[in-house]
Structure 1
Amino acid sequence: MTRRKEKVYEELVRQCDGMDKNTLLSKSGVPASEVAAHLGMLRSNACLELNNLVRENKVIKFVTRPVLYVPASVLQRVFGNVIDVSVVKARSVNDLLQQKKSKPKSLPEKDPFSQLIGADQSLKASVTQAKAAVVYPPRGLNTLILGPTGSGKTLFAHMMHGYAKYTKRLADNSPFIVFNCADYYNNAQLLLGHLFGYIKGAFTGADSDTEGLVAKADGGILFLDEIHRLPPEGQEMIFYFMDTGKYSKLGETGIKRESHVLIIGATTADPESALLQTFLRRIPVTINIPKFNERSPLEKVELTKFLLSREARRTNNQFKVSADVIRALIGSVTFGNVGQLKSNVQLICAQGFLNNFNSDCISLTGKMLPSEMKEGLSVISRDQEINNQLDKYLTQETLIIGRQDGLMIDDEGYEPPVDIYKIISGKYQFLSDEGLSTKDIKTFISKDIKAHFTKFYQQTTGSRLETLIDSGMLSLAPRIEATCTRYLGHQISEQFLSFILLHLDSFMRHTSRKLSVLPKERKNMVSPGSKEYRAACAIAKLIVEAFNLNVPEIEIEYIAVLLSSSEELSRRKNVGIVVAAHGDQTASSMVRVAKELLGDYPVAAIDMPLSVSFKDIFADIVHTVRKMNQGEGVLMMVDMGSLYYFEEKIAASAGVSVRAIDMVSTPLILEAVKKANYLHLNLDSIAESLRMVRANSEMIADVEKDGKQKAVLTICTTGKGTAQRIKTIISEYLRSLTNENIRIIPVSMVGLYEQAQKLTDKYRIIASIGAKDPKLDGVPYITLQQFIGGESQNIIEQAILRKPVTVKENPSNVIVKGVCEDSLQNMLTYLNPKKAVEAINEFNKTLQRALNVHFKNATKIRIIMHLSFALEREITRTPLKYTETVSQEKEKMSDLLSEPLQVIQYKLNIALGKGETLYLVDMLADELGKSVLNLA
């Protein structure tokens, strides 16, 4: 106990020691101000030490105005053991006595599962299975618990042990032994020694006979966590033990020992691929624990409130929690399930504890949320159905008090290694003694909290593919890796396996992209006899067996292409990436995750403490941009606009092409690395596609002062089809003009006027585009021809912004790309529409410079469409043969086109033959006029 705390305690004892029973019943204690006055110290310092003493159960606090404190020893002297010093909240000594009287002398023993949140909902079937496994004669059934990291497999096994004691299947003192197989998975000898014990001299370092866990678990339960990490020989020894109840220590021969143990295993992997079939046959019961996101909204709220109540008890405070905080906590659970939820709760409670240090009630509001939890709030807000369900269980503000009732699913692996509240209290006192202001103290400790939790998250994230990939697909990873190794003759890297899994998961999710039939005349992109093709067929077979889903031939060929190009992809130069974000570890943390998942790609982090200005760190940014540049430019990913607007200045100073995108997040970085490292898109294409990804994920609409969100109507005959495609193109077009979130609403021509008028009640319609004018007062109407031709650009900019426009990129290019990519999506078999359009756009730019002309949008679109099909014919070796007369002018124009066409050959590795080139010349002459031939 520190000297100051001792003085506070001694003064409190002195003031309360003379109080008798009646005085205590009427007065209940003394306020912090009286203790501070007698000691000549600040009230806040006295309050700090008194609350520390409350946490140590040496002092009892009564929540009144003012708050009163009394030593526990004084109450016990006067009232004896009728006082419970562990009670968290009471308003007076009388209240404390009533709480004691109301408690039954001995609570009847309860079924442990009855206290489990979700036991009668999402876990109902699992609990039923567990109870049946425990009571099955004579000693229960061996059980395997399946579930993702952080879902609560360990706690569930503990509850099975508790239920076995509750039903008298096991003695009250029966052991529950936990062993994590992953701790020794790379040393089979040591692992088996821990499980079964060993004799002296069994291996180097075995200095004496040692009992194993099987012996220690005799008469109870042996819980094998991460059981899939057991080597085959370990599994064989375990299933022999399960069959016979007998085992030998490591190094023993001819001796059979006996132990009666119920085996419970737990794994995050697919047991069918990770465990021996002979081993699985010995485990008759398999129990599934759901992910957090598979729980009902009520369970999610109950779990969150329980975790908050546990923190309230740890701090001896009440929490007033806004509904937004609970929504954010629920929405921010990604990779770690309930274990991650627990960590997030502790982080926000630690911040609230600091902000309300001398308060009896801690307020947790949306303003306090760190950026990652604000993203969680965004995730929840995007799903109207979940929002409506959460509204049933949430009030605007919830009062949370500390309590011990009820159990929940969590994972001990997610428990922070430090008592954050103790750190806060200790540093607050030290810094206060040093004379720092309250504001400076909070700033300093906030950074410390962040550092502790950043370090903690780094230790617990492990493989975060669970964040991105469906668990069913993820469970195939070992078999896919083994398949690749068998057919290719070498191991693929973990990062390349991640990419294959990401691609297959995307294929599974996006049914609209699945192609069912290929043209008969198609020729294979890779040889059917190649090792890559055979590996792809084997992977497709795994998918068919696992998901009963047909994998089309084009998908098999695409997988084969990926496998065949993996080495080449790793050698090519790509766009560099620099992530800059405010905070001590914000950027580093996100980049670390990206590298863990997708390999050591050239992506660098720049952490910017809030106290450092852009000017002070500018030189470091320029240096990092130069370092990351491989010759293809650098993508700057930033968290705030302050960096976003310095794109040109950074580019000029570094002498490197730079594109910036703001509102960076971990998923956005992963998307950038995938597009740069595996798809090899250029700098402009990556920036453009990331804006589209972000636009699709944003959901909090910007509103005008009248509360209405801006909207653009797209009109066609049905409100579907063309209008939906226009919606996609317009969405990206608007992103090129503004960061404002503008709703695009497809509308049918049937009942157009009535629909449009009705929409004006809810939205501020700023423009309409399509086949018919909805005749809205003051709203500009743009025909499809005007929009695609680029003639409407000024109208749209003025309608949206109503102020001078600073265009971030050429909006006409956005329209051209959108129209062409959308049209070619279902027409091309072999070419990637995005890459084809990107390459031909570069060809258009080069050709315009060569001819010294400017193409209209319609011309650009026609060239892109014509060349896309021409290149497709070149791939299938069915090019058109030119049968017309070749004039001297056409020959010259054909020669002039050879240099611009090299752009396409470089980007797509496809050469346009002489016949197709001459047809392109004819098309240009028709489009631009015969006089264009004279320009050559």
Structure 2
Amino acid sequence: MDIAKNRVLSELTDLPDPITTSQLAEKLNLSRSVVSHYLNELLLEKKVVKQDGRPVLWSVQAAASKKASARLTDFVGVHGSLKKTVEQVKAAVVYPPNGLNILITGHSGVGKSYLASKIGECAKKEGIIAKDAPYIVLNCADYANNPELVSSMLFGYVKGAYTGADEEKDGLLQQADHGYLFLDEVHRLSSENQEKLFSFIDSGQFFKMGDNSTPHKAQVRLIMATTEDPEKVLLTTFLRRIPIRIKLPDYAKRPLDERLDILRLLFYREAKTMQRKLEIEPNLLAALLQVDNPGNIGYLKNAIRVACASAYREQVEQETIVLKLGHLPIPLRTNTENYGSLMIDYQVLPKLKATSQLDSKFDQIKADLQALTEDFSSSSMKQVKLDLLSLDQQEAKQELNDNLHSLHQKLYQKIIEEKFGLSQAHYLEEVLYLFYASNFAIADDQLEQLQPLVSRKLPRTYHVASTFYQELVKKDQRDYRILMLVLTLLLSDHVDENIKLRALMVAHGKGSATSIQSVVNTLCGNYIFDAIDMPIDAGVDKIIAEANKLIDSFNTTNGFVLMVDMGSLSQLYSTIKDHLDGDLLVVNNITTLTALDIALKMQANTDFKNIAEKADDYRINVQYYEGFSQSPNILVSCISGIGISEKVKEIIQPILPNKIKVIPLDYATLKEKIRSQEWNYFSNTLFVLTTMDISDEVSFRHLNLYDLLDASGEKQLRKWLGVYLSEDQINYFFQKLLQFFSKEGISERLAFLNPDVILNEVEAINSKYENFYHLKLDGKVKLNLYMHIALMIERLMLQRTADIKVEVSGKQEEQFFMITHSIFQPIEMKYNIKLSDYEISLLYELFKQFID
């Protein structure tokens, strides 16, 4: 077996509990993608077990009990908001030998009794208890005023225990032997009865009322429910005996798709009673989805029954009963959202959403997305998109046939196909809806890594995707950023990221600007223009705020085109100019022909100045404002691409004062500005950082980023930054910059070690050498050491090192060998490697010139 793969299996074997991929990767100091790859191989070999959930957990394969597969699939929310709850319930049901006691909390009508009965059914169906095992129910509230009666019902009594006890009788505990006892409103039990009950939980024994000397035994699984806060109404000693506590949410707090499922089931029950098909009109459905009543589902159930009775009386001869808003006997809030009609067939039981068919494919997609965070290359992108598009719509046909899909479909057409002109991406809608309907999610840390990468690499596409999800109705409060990223990746084949300019049209009147935007983008077959409609009767402040928010999310360094209708120009320009980082062209009149002409020029990447000069031909008011950022700024322009510039910005921007902006600039634009000597462009620029030497005479200060690795370059930048930053902040910047350049090179060469982890360890090694020999190594030397030591450690782990005999000569070299053994001892123990004399001799060659 592969050495690294064997380490993965060995580590899992030693762990007492299941572990996530990320946690295992951290323990082994391997990259997450490598660990994920080996885990999936071990899964195919049936050597490990994968536990589905969020996140996925891994453990070694063991002889799994047949009873350890309890399913609870016919409960609304089992694959959604209640997934964690159901996992707890399943754990309680299968736990040997007799399960765990369960306490269900929640307001009245949320489904506590229903869930309790489903737990009993599940245990029988899976063979965990016998099919004829008892399921006994006691509502403690019914006898709350008579604790002795409750005691006799629970524990039974002997003859003569009290007046009227003419014969011995078994209690509910005895009746529930080898089955379940459900105690509803358990908080109404007296303290004495709670004490008796926890004594039974501890010992499995109880005494009948009237006989304290003869113990009785029973194996009973307890489920309890309460509407109150258990910490306030139950004895602490009693609560300690209930390891599983779950809370059911109110109907109004359930996700939108789960509320729809609940309504389907409630209407189905009434349809079956009436033996009629039902059609629930859109306004009634929308109103029912907004119900927020203390009675929750119980309240809805009664209201729906009354509405069905009223509609049935009116349409008794009809095969399909149509329910309207007027049939409900309660005041309801109307909703502007149109979810369509709800059709119910009494002969077809509504199926609850099940994601098991898609789970394995979703897991693969999550692995692809993780790989993308480590290698955002075209090949990785291609693999992700292939897996995203491989979702089989036939497998999830049910997901595509509901009211939410209709809403999703209409909005996708309106925003993606019409507003942004991407009609060729029509086929993606069904795939996107599967992710939305299935509550697709990834780990938070993975999302935080992926979002800046995707938004930086695909800014135009990301803007289109985020616009869509900002307008899509929210099912719940979950984070929809992962859906934005999925849509961005899928749309990336259809949005032209090479268009450098940004353009916005603003006009008075409902649909005035957006209708022209839609026509122009559709004719161009791509996203060119954004648009904002200005209501006639609304103040301009709101529009200005919206425009500024939009502009702030754009890279406007290459130029910005603003098209406005008459009367908006002066106020808009004066407020947006401070938000722009490049030249501005204002066209003070909007026509479809003018907008289309500009759009086609933008699509052809016509030079901004050329567009501005040709704009005079429109014979309308056109104004060109030349300039750059109105704020003090530092320009970063790298020949390798805007991505490197963006990364440098991420390092330095957080430590600078708010008034100073770090602006990534396309290298071609920088060269063009220098060639045409547009020095006013740099009027507020403090200095420019590049990755190429600027040989021309220029009016601004500049420095090659790679010169920072030399003492002279570092000294120069320290002088420039010293006005704004402390010594510690400057040191932090240099350290992060060095690590970034080191990581870029090392990541391409390492086979499986995690670059982030190994770089920190190499930094610590370098510091120990510097401290011992009183050295101050410059950036270039450190970069070389980073590369050499990281690759050396991986080489030793793979046992790919040369076995060459070395002769140590002189005290200095002998001392270096001794110090190196000491410095590397923690690394040797951690990675289970042994530093050979040959490897130390290579290190000595690197350090010799500094310690002579």
* TM-score for both structures, normalised by structure 2: 0.34
Point out which structure has higher relative CO (alpha carbons under 8 A, 6+ apart).
2
